[in-house]
A = this chain, B = another copy of it.
Amino acid sequence: MDTERYRVRPGDKVRLSEWSTSDVETFNGAKSDGKEELERYNERLLDLQQMLYAEARHKVLVVLQGMDTAGKDGTIKHVFRTVNPLGVRAVNFRKPSTLELAHDYLWRVHQHTPSTGTIAIFNRSHYEDVLIVRVHGLVPTEQWEKRYAHICDFERMLADEGTTVIKFFLHISSDEQRDRLQERIDNPDKNWKFEHGDLSERLHWDAYQEAYEAVLNRTSTDAAPWYVVPSDRKWYRNLVVSRVLIRHLERLEMSYPDPPADLPDIQVE
């Protein structure tokens, strides 16, 4: 799979309407083949994550963003189902608390950035502070306008200090969102996921797409690239995210630490 086509290059002018939500082209096979392939990716990701943990040299930050129902939770569940929780932490960023709002918007996310040897997965992130905040005008324009630069600076600093930052925008169509919301209403097993707020947010679809375009155009850097993942087909979305992660981890050229020189001579009594 060549997933490079989904990466937003610095300087790109992304128009989301031109990026497919249902592309499955880079995988040569049907959905059932894709699910088998995912199992192989899961195993490979586990190998790499174990080495990351053992070597304890690098840090990895995965950012997941997308419209409601885009599949952030499902991606975490399926892509990371094999990894060792000791070395992986998923963090949900919900509506900020009073304490969080009393600090700058990067305060709460910085606390949860990964330590050496670990992967942190952000389910939503500091990008909400230029998404929902922008769409609903929660702070003045001149304040959120400066945040794109802050965010690039922040992620640059994380990268300089040893963190691999990888960001995924799970891209779905408006029709797909409608179907998934309806499913949450119609299917009793999914009722718990339904929130009235999702319906009112859906009315701002175009404003959100525009806000995401600004994010993709202004914050996809070499240090912290964005990938626009076609996400109408869940199995394909999982494959793309897995493949990108694996590629980034492989580039770290990790190895297990050398054993003590006298190891072969040690006899446990």
Which stretch from A21-29, A105-113, A214-222, A233-241 is at the chain B interface?
A: A105-113
Whether the Cβ atoms of B115 and A143 lie closer than 8 Å is no
A 41-90 contacts with B by CB, 8 A? 59
Least CB distance, A125 to chain B, in whole angstroms = 15
Instruction: Report the interface size for chain A: residues with CB under 8 A from the other chain.
Output: 26
Least CB distance, A145 to chain B, in whole angstroms = 10
A242 at the interface (CB under 8 A from B): no
Least CB distance, A224 to chain B, in whole angstroms = 13
Whether the Cβ atoms of A107 and B113 lie closer than 8 Å is yes
Chain B residues closer than 8 Å to A106, beta-carbon distance = 110, 157
CA distance A153 to B149 in the complex (A): 9
Least CB distance, A7 to chain B, in whole angstroms = 24
CA distance A154 to B160 in the complex (A): 14
Which one, B104, B107, B162, contacts A104 given CB within 8 A?
Answer: B162
A1 at the interface (CB under 8 A from B): no
The residue on B at minimum CB distance from A157 is B150
Least CB distance, A65 to chain B, in whole angstroms = 20
Contacts A110-B110, A115-B99 given; indicate if A105 touches B150 (C-beta within 8 A): no
Interface bits A116-134 vs B (CB < 8 Å: 1, else 0): 1100000000000000000
CA distance A160 to B130 in the complex (A): 14
Whether the Cβ atoms of B104 and A158 lie closer than 8 Å is yes
Whether the Cβ atoms of A157 and B153 lie closer than 8 Å is yes
The residue on B at minimum CB distance from A100 is B115
Chain B residues closer than 8 Å to A162, beta-carbon distance = 104
Contacts A110-B110, A111-B111, A115-B99 given; indicate if A104 touches B163 (C-beta within 8 A): yes
The residue on B at minimum CB distance from A158 is B104
Contacts A150-B153, A150-B157, A160-B146 given; indicate if A104 touches B111 (C-beta within 8 A): no
Chain B residues closer than 8 Å to A102, beta-carbon distance = 115-117
**A to B CB contacts below 8 Å, 24 in the list:** A59-B103, A102-B115, A102-B116, A103-B113, A103-B115, A104-B113, A104-B157, A104-B158, A104-B162, A104-B163, A105-B161, A107-B110, A107-B111, A107-B113, A110-B110, A111-B111, A143-B160, A143-B161, A150-B157, A150-B160, A153-B153, A153-B154, A153-B156, A154-B154
Contacts A105-B161, A153-B154 given; 8 further ones with Cβ under 8 A?
A99-B115, A104-B113, A104-B162, A106-B110, A106-B157, A107-B113, A110-B111, A143-B160
